[in-house]
Chain A
Amino acid sequence: MGQCLRYQMHWEDLEEYQALTFLTRNEILCIHDTFLKLCPPGKYYKEATLTMDQVSSLPALRVNPFRDRICRVFAHNGVFSFEDVLGMASVFSEQACPSLKIEYAFRIYDFNENGFIDEEDLQKIILRLLNSDDMSEDLLTDLTSHVLSESDLDNDNMLSFSEFEHAMAKSPDFMNSFRIHFWGC
């Protein structure tokens, strides 16, 4: 009793997820369906986990050059629980607030996880964007120096979170591009 006949999810859980994420109920149920299809059968959805490889190979993330960073940021202990997946979908949904997207974008782009986006991170981002290692050194250094000269306000050759936020906050490009439609919902 208390379980929806079509879904394993309790109605109260659905309400709670809907209140705590930026997803609609329909989207949460779609994600629930797909999650159940991917995780081993017979397991309760709250205990099942997906590996980072499984999440990386989802159609929404398959061609994303930053999929490993996305998985690393959103997973706990190397695996994705259902709530981790929901959290990830919520950040990338259309209704998510800009501050949340900027926060997670900063974490994703911080490759060496030192709390700053420094030149090394920027170079890695550019190489990932172009998906090639044969970019000339001059081009890379030019580009990173341009980005830093535009956004680095206190001249320490790194982008702190405030500087990143300042650069991205009023850019609707960022809001438009930092969206993923998961699972064809």
Chain B
Amino acid sequence: MAQPPAFVFNILETPEDQGQDPSPYDESEVHDSFHQLIQEQSQRAAEEGLELRVLPQREPGPETLGASGSGHQALLGPEGVPDYSTATLRILASMPSRTIGRSRGAILSQYYNRTVRLRRRGSRPPLGGVGRSARPSLRLYDLELDPTAFQEEEKRTLLVKELQGLTVAQRDHMLRGMPLSLAEKRSLREESWTQSGKQRGPQGRRGLLPCCSRLRYACGLALHSLGLALLSALQALTPWRYALKQIGGQFGSSVLSYFLFLKTLLAFNALLLLPLLAFIVGVQAAFPPAPADSVPTFTGLELLTGGGRFSHSVMYYGYYSNTTLNQLCGPPLDGSQCTPEAGGLPYNMPLAYLFTMGMSFFITCITLVYSMSRSFGESYRVGSTSGVHAITVFCSWDYKVTQKWPSRLQQDNIRTQLKELLAEWQLQQGPRSVWGRLRQVAILGFVWLLCLGTTLGCTLAVYAFSELMIKNPVSAEREWELLALPLVVCLLNLGAPYLYRGLAALERHDSPILEVYVAICRNLILKMVILGILCYHWLGRRVGALKGQCWENFVGQELYRLMVMDFVFTLLDTLFGELVWRFISEKQRKKRGKPEFDIARNVLELIYGQTLTWLGVLFSPLLPAMQIVKLLVLFYVKKMSLMANCRAPRRPWLASHMSTVFVSLLCFPSFLGAAIFLCYAIWQVRPSSICGPFRTLDTMYEAGKVWVRHLEKAGPRVSWLPWIHRYLVENTFPIYLVSALLLAVIYLNIQVVKGQRKVICLLKEQISNEGEDKIFLINKLHSVYEGKERSRVGRAQEAEMPPTLPADERDAR
């Protein structure tokens, strides 16, 4: 315990009890919360002319910080306090209650139990899984329930002994997690070190070997300063550490989650870019193909359109050769007839392109699914209701916020949130007529219909415009016209959400969080549908329209243009949306008029940008590098705008769910769509015949098949690879089998979770039954003592003699 409260024992008692000043460290004493009740009781008893006898103090066993349950069955006195006698209160105070961790001895017992359990396990358990609960109860080794009374010193020695049995890392991990003060942890550590006789002991050994120890200290100092230098270098490398802290301190966790998501996206793009750079771009840059006939000069327009000079660079698919590089013999068509000379390291470019793309996507998929499942697992618990009120009360104050104005804003937010929660509950409780419900459903359906209609309208507009672009092909001099389609798409993406927001004002949702989720849903549908129609336009129509030309280059450039336009519009939106709004609101002198940082819209923009990258990486391997540059610039621009122009959002956003939602949205519509597009492009579409690494093949996938055929001819040594390809990859039966197995595993897991939910319900019932039992027993105890008191009073009144001291003590015992 950190702070012993002031404790004065004023109760009318036997003379020997007066003058005692018990402290909470004395575990068998009564806690001061009982002092009040006991005092009232004894005063009341004294008024009635009784002399109160005190039960003996030394109750062996566990801590006495129990409390009386003032539940439904408790007897309530006139003030609402349970009207128990002093004797009952004393017994209640010595219950082995649930708050067994409050005193030091109890903490020592708890960690003794845990250490014992850790040691007696056969294998070395993972340190992270030592148990989330701070208070595990293991009946077998539970010191709490051990009938032989352990004093605190004995518990401490036992704990030290057990700690010695652990390894150093486990010991430190255990000590770190103990809720004791640092001084006590140090002494525990010292005792377990010295008694195990390790070399690196306490300071006492220093005097023994002065020159060696001086050398050691010198080395230690040098290492220390080296370590500090490394640490500061590492911190300089982890970018934006201070910036993120600043944002979190000023705006809270919800706005911070946007920036953390941005950082995550950077990591994903870097992960995607590295294999591409190493295996495709780097190699092709080292062995450039024969230069094309007419390479246009660089004009500034290429930065926007991606064409021109850039078309003949490593940036696009068309530049990559379809031969085996570094072969040091005559240029063969598919590298099968050439025997490489000594010193050559043949590099099959088409195969490398196919495999690297597939590998990068696979790694990204695994990483995404892993991070999604991890953040989902952290916030989901079987059988638990969300407990939103408890979470609001205990978790809504963000301790990171350190400035005055944001903290006041936080108070306002919490107040609004609490009021909304209660209003929501009241609304649900209120009588809802059938007519009202029907009306609400009708309005909801109508608004959804309007929104979907808007989406359809936008999609048709994009489709019509793209058909128009096919019909009127752009000549080489008017390349800027190529920017028309991306411009239209970006304008629609900008304008439709405002329309949705206007339509959403018509409907009234019960909870504001639902409103936000619905808005995200609608915006996401719009973006994905537009991207879908564009994908159809490229793979379905452009391939046909650009026969004889390099359609992959065109698709790559289209995606480049879309990315650039999206970036430009984001910057403009940040500048004009937030800056101009701030000026307007300042002019109207509304202090709270600063625009909110709209997290949902910004996150959706990030996801959209990332989808474009994933869609385009097959046709433009350097697109992730562009995305990285774009994200870097966006971080600083958004941060600057945030600090200058915005305030934290008023909507109650649960920061925990947000990161899960963001990563899920990134995985499911975004990455899945890109993966489907990639698979279709690789498996079904005929590559163009004049450019790219697959120009002579029917599909891009055939490069792999060619290689497998090559291997088959290579001989029996590597025959297992073609075998795997023929019977496991090409054959559909193993895929069906694996899918069926996965479905079975998922079904089994669902059943297990259902069973766990049932068990949890039963346990909850049992806990509440136990609580009722306890209250019943307390009342019985109270009635027993009351009966005794009454009979004693009766006897005393009959005898008309003051009760003697020993008799009463005997009675009370």
Q: Which residues of A contact B (CB under 8 A)?
A: 1-2, 4-5, 11-12, 14, 16-17, 19-22, 24-26, 29, 59-60, 62-66, 72-78, 81, 83-84, 86-87, 90, 92, 97-100, 102-105, 107, 109, 112-116, 122, 125-126, 129-131, 139, 142-143, 146-147, 150-151, 153-158, 160-162, 164-165, 167-181, 184
Segment among B360-368, B393-401, B566-574, B604-612 that sits at the interface with chain A? B393-401
Closest to B252 in A: A177
A154 and B378 contact, CB distance less than 8 A: no
A177 and B400 contact, CB distance less than 8 A: yes
Nearest-CB distance from A15 to chain B (Å)? 9
- Using Cβ atoms and an 8 Å threshold, which residues of chain A touch B185? 20
Closest to A116 in B: B67
> B630: CB under 8 A from chain A?
no
A11→B223 CA distance, assembly (Å) = 10
Closest to B393 in A: A147
Nearest-CB distance from A101 to chain B (Å)? 10
B5 and A157 contact, CB distance less than 8 A: no
Closest to A81 in B: B183
B400 and A170 contact, CB distance less than 8 A: no
The answer, among B31, B33, B235, B389, for a CB contact under 8 Å with A26, is B235
- Using Cβ atoms and an 8 Å threshold, which residues of chain B touch A112? 33
- Using Cβ atoms and an 8 Å threshold, which residues of chain B touch A87? 181-182
Nearest-CB distance from B199 to chain A (Å)? 13
Closest to B131 in A: A99
A72 and B3 contact, CB distance less than 8 A: yes
- Using Cβ atoms and an 8 Å threshold, which residues of chain B touch A12? 203
The answer, among A1, A16, A17, A19, for a CB contact under 8 Å with B217, is A1
Closest to B769 in A: A154
Can you name 7 extra interface pairs (CB under 8 A) apart from A76-B3, A114-B67?
A16-B186, A19-B189, A20-B186, A59-B402, A100-B177, A174-B395, A181-B249
Closest to A135 in B: B415
User: Beta-carbon contacts of B371-386 to A below 8 Å, as 1s and 0s?
Assistant: 0000100111100110
A102→B654 CA distance, assembly (Å) = 19
What are 23 contact pairs spanning A and B, CB under 8 A? Answer: A4-B221, A12-B203, A19-B172, A26-B228, A62-B402, A73-B3, A84-B182, A90-B176, A97-B177, A99-B131, A99-B177, A103-B101, A115-B66, A131-B408, A131-B411, A147-B389, A147-B393, A151-B390, A156-B69, A156-B774, A157-B69, A162-B135, A176-B398
A21→B177 CA distance, assembly (Å) = 8
A92→B71 CA distance, assembly (Å) = 35
A121→B578 CA distance, assembly (Å) = 42
A65 and B65 contact, CB distance less than 8 A: no
- Given A20-B176, A150-B385, A174-B394, is A179 in contact with B399 using a C-beta cutoff of 8 Å? yes
A171→B657 CA distance, assembly (Å) = 9
A83 and B181 contact, CB distance less than 8 A: yes
A172→B375 CA distance, assembly (Å) = 9
A86 and B182 contact, CB distance less than 8 A: yes
A159→B2 CA distance, assembly (Å) = 21
Closest to B4 in A: A77
- Using Cβ atoms and an 8 Å threshold, which residues of chain B touch A26? 228, 231-232, 235
- Using Cβ atoms and an 8 Å threshold, which residues of chain B touch A16? 186, 189
- Using Cβ atoms and an 8 Å threshold, which residues of chain A touch B387? 150-151, 167
The answer, among B133, B182, B414, for a CB contact under 8 Å with A165, is B133
B67 and A158 contact, CB distance less than 8 A: yes
A180→B654 CA distance, assembly (Å) = 18
> B770: CB under 8 A from chain A?
yes
A154→B163 CA distance, assembly (Å) = 35
A126→B135 CA distance, assembly (Å) = 27
Nearest-CB distance from A35 to chain B (Å)? 13
A62→B655 CA distance, assembly (Å) = 23
- Using Cβ atoms and an 8 Å threshold, which residues of chain B touch A158? 67, 69-70
A175→B67 CA distance, assembly (Å) = 29
A11→B767 CA distance, assembly (Å) = 51
B220 and A11 contact, CB distance less than 8 A: yes
A21→B172 CA distance, assembly (Å) = 9
A114 and B183 contact, CB distance less than 8 A: no
Nearest-CB distance from A122 to chain B (Å)? 7
B390 and A177 contact, CB distance less than 8 A: no
Nearest-CB distance from A25 to chain B (Å)? 7
Q: Which of the four size classes fits the interface of chain B?
A: 35 or more
- Given A103-B134, A147-B393, A155-B71, is A25 in contact with B99 using a C-beta cutoff of 8 Å? no
The answer, among A62, A100, A184, for a CB contact under 8 Å with B134, is A100
A174→B395 CA distance, assembly (Å) = 5
A115 and B99 contact, CB distance less than 8 A: yes
- Using Cβ atoms and an 8 Å threshold, which residues of chain A touch B394? 105, 109, 125, 164, 167-168, 174
The answer, among A24, A102, A184, for a CB contact under 8 Å with B231, is A24
A143 and B415 contact, CB distance less than 8 A: no
- Given A161-B101, A177-B395, is A130 in contact with B415 using a C-beta cutoff of 8 Å? yes
B70 and A156 contact, CB distance less than 8 A: yes
- Using Cβ atoms and an 8 Å threshold, which residues of chain A touch B189? 16, 19-20
A25 and B227 contact, CB distance less than 8 A: yes
The answer, among B2, B102, B248, for a CB contact under 8 Å with A72, is B2
Question: Which of A63, A66, A168 has its CB near the most chain B CB atoms (within 10 A)?
Answer: A63
A176 and B655 contact, CB distance less than 8 A: yes
- Using Cβ atoms and an 8 Å threshold, which residues of chain B touch A172? 375, 378-379, 655-656
B67 and A179 contact, CB distance less than 8 A: no
Nearest-CB distance from A97 to chain B (Å)? 5
> B253: CB under 8 A from chain A?
yes
A83 and B135 contact, CB distance less than 8 A: no
- Using Cβ atoms and an 8 Å threshold, which residues of chain B touch A86? 182
> B245: CB under 8 A from chain A?
yes
> B775: CB under 8 A from chain A?
yes
- Given A143-B418, A165-B134, A170-B380, is A180 in contact with B400 using a C-beta cutoff of 8 Å? yes
A150 and B245 contact, CB distance less than 8 A: no
A153 and B764 contact, CB distance less than 8 A: yes
The answer, among B175, B401, B768, for a CB contact under 8 Å with A63, is B401
- Using Cβ atoms and an 8 Å threshold, which residues of chain B touch A74? 2
A97→B591 CA distance, assembly (Å) = 41
A162 and B378 contact, CB distance less than 8 A: no
Nearest-CB distance from B652 to chain A (Å)? 11
Closest to B380 in A: A170
> B132: CB under 8 A from chain A?
yes
B245 and A181 contact, CB distance less than 8 A: yes
- Given A99-B177, A153-B768, is A170 in contact with B384 using a C-beta cutoff of 8 Å? yes
A114 and B33 contact, CB distance less than 8 A: yes
- Given A151-B387, A157-B70, A170-B384, is A60 in contact with B402 using a C-beta cutoff of 8 Å? yes
- Using Cβ atoms and an 8 Å threshold, which residues of chain B touch A131? 408, 411
Nearest-CB distance from A3 to chain B (Å)? 9
A155→B69 CA distance, assembly (Å) = 9
A184→B235 CA distance, assembly (Å) = 13
B235 and A115 contact, CB distance less than 8 A: no
The answer, among A73, A122, A170, for a CB contact under 8 Å with B393, is A122
> B209: CB under 8 A from chain A?
no
A171 and B402 contact, CB distance less than 8 A: no
- Using Cβ atoms and an 8 Å threshold, which residues of chain B touch A17? 182
B2 and A75 contact, CB distance less than 8 A: yes
Complex interface residues of chain B between 179 and 217 (CB less than 8 A to chain A) = 179, 181-183, 185-186, 189, 203, 206, 214, 217
> B664: CB under 8 A from chain A?
no
Complex interface residues of chain B between 424 and 483 (CB less than 8 A to chain A) = 425
Closest to A160 in B: B98
Closest to B764 in A: A153
B177 and A156 contact, CB distance less than 8 A: no
- Using Cβ atoms and an 8 Å threshold, which residues of chain B touch A157? 69-71
A98→B422 CA distance, assembly (Å) = 29
- Using Cβ atoms and an 8 Å threshold, which residues of chain B touch A126? 393, 418
- Given A150-B390, A151-B387, is A20 in contact with B182 using a C-beta cutoff of 8 Å? yes
A176 and B2 contact, CB distance less than 8 A: no
A21→B465 CA distance, assembly (Å) = 63
> B403: CB under 8 A from chain A?
yes
A142 and B655 contact, CB distance less than 8 A: no
A84→B395 CA distance, assembly (Å) = 24
A11 and B221 contact, CB distance less than 8 A: yes
